[in-house]
Structure 1
Amino acid sequence: MNNIRLYLGILIIPLFLLVTIFITHRDVSPNTGIPLTGLATMRSMAKQSIPYEIAMNNHKPSLIEFYADWCTICQSLAPSLKNLHQQYGENINFVMLNIDNPIWSKVIKTYGANSVPYLVFLTPEKEVKEVLVGKPPERIIEQIIMSGKVSYQLSAISY
């Protein structure tokens, strides 16, 4: 009888540990430890973004993000840009260009995008008004949008 209790104890403890690990485990990229939701958000946004050619011809201000799938900073910036796209997407072109796609090499050179993430803010006339490199806080990006440097006919947001 004591042997049965010992064997049950030996089996229950590892089982408990496995269940605990399974329940508390987050989906993360095996190489970076970054939640896969950032990559999924970024890829979803890229599919929904305005094509570059349309953005250059529709007389709206634009925010162009040069990014790469492997860029963990780009992935962590994705939720902030998604929030801003939901708020301002009707008035501003949100364009995403993957620097690893060779079709964008000329555009990359045009804007001098030498790192990622690289955010370029354009006026409706397509003049560069602001460039941000790295991961700025969402509030800074929103201030640029709201400052009038890029946006037009946007109602002010009260904070």
Structure 2
Amino acid sequence: MTEPNSKDPAPSPLGRRERLLLAAIAAALGLLLFQLRGGLQPQAPLEQMARRSLELPVALANGRPTILEFYADWCAVCRSMAPAVEAIETKHRGALDVVLLNVDNPRWAAEIERYDVNGIPQLEFFDREGQSVGRSLGGRSLAELDAIATALIAGKPLPRLAGVGSLSQLDVASTPVAGPRSHG
């Protein structure tokens, strides 16, 4: 007489076909989530640069000139200018700080007001002492950004740039207000 082994698992109420179907659905949902989150290469390079950048007060106090960019992930001009901004940040790392602030983040509402941001991308330029020395509204080319960065690092006057570049209007009325559940 054999006693039942208490270590044997109870039989599954699902058949083999149902388990395979559930596994396939779980795999499909996982793949969909992976794609929606950007896969291995996130689709928001601006957000990645923003996360890597220094906090603005630190950048303005560390003795290096600073370029501050107000941007939004939905801004086509900001996205098209992102490779140039990243190239400037890489080329001048250690000599110049690049700080990015997302206008859709309520954490930056005070800065948006302080620098009178009405369109994006808006660039603010600061010397080594953290003093504002200029502003640019609209998209800029790599050559223009490099000329600005070089002048800031050398402590020379900023180059004159023709007109305002391409611009995305910022709807100040729809900018989120910081609340207790806001996240930075």
Q: Which TM-score applies when normalising by structure 1?
A: 0.67
Residue identity (%): 30
Question: Residue 140 of structure 2: SS of its match in structure 1?
Answer: coil
Taking the aligned partners of 1:64 and 1:38, their CA distance within structure 2 comes to: 22
Aligned to 2:153: 151
Deviates more, 1:102-111 or 1:86-95: 102-111
Name segments (4+ residues, structure 1) moved above 4 Å: none
Give the alignment partner of residue 64 of structure 2, picking from 40, 60, 66. 60
Shift of 1:127: 1.6
AA aligned opposite 1:63: I
Q: How does 1:108-127 map to 2 (within 5 A)?
A: 108-127=112-131
Taking the aligned partners of 2:63 and 2:124, their CA distance within structure 1 comes to: 16
Kept after mapping to 1: 8 A contact 2:53/2:100:
yes
Shift of 1:126: 1.6
Taking the aligned partners of 1:79 and 1:72, their CA distance within structure 2 comes to: 13
Give the alignment partner of residue 101 of structure 1, picking from 95, 100, 105. 105
How many residues are paired up? 115
AA aligned opposite 2:52: Q
Aligned to 1:6: none
Question: Residue 56 of structure 1: SS of its match in structure 2?
Answer: helix
Question: Residue 117 of structure 2: SS of its match in structure 1?
Answer: coil
Taking the aligned partners of 1:121 and 1:39, their CA distance within structure 2 comes to: 27
Give the alignment partner of residue 44 of structure 1, picking from 45, 48, 51. 48
Taking the aligned partners of 1:89 and 1:116, their CA distance within structure 2 comes to: 24
Matched, 1:136 2:136: no
Unaligned segments of structure 1, at least 5 residues: 1-36, 154-159
Question: Residue 104 of structure 1: SS of its match in structure 2?
Answer: helix
Rg comparison, structure with higher value: 2
Q: Could you report, residue by residue, the CA deviation over 1:19-51 in whole angstroms, capped at 9, with x for unpaired residues?
A: xxxxxxxxxxxxxxxxxx894321221111111
AA aligned opposite 1:83: A
Kept after mapping to 2: 8 A contact 1:38/1:76:
no
Question: Residue 100 of structure 1: SS of its match in structure 2?
Answer: coil
Aligned to 1:157: none
The structure with more helix, counted as a fraction of residues: 1
Taking the aligned partners of 1:110 and 1:83, their CA distance within structure 2 comes to: 27
Aligned to 1:82: 86
Unaligned segments of structure 2, at least 5 residues: 1-40, 156-184
Question: Residue 151 of structure 1: SS of its match in structure 2?
Answer: helix
Taking the aligned partners of 1:49 and 1:110, their CA distance within structure 2 comes to: 20
Cα root mean square deviation, aligned: 1.8
Shift of 1:53: 2.4
Shift of 1:123: 0.6
Shift of 1:62: 0.4
Kept after mapping to 2: 8 A contact 1:74/1:117:
yes
Aligned to 1:26: none
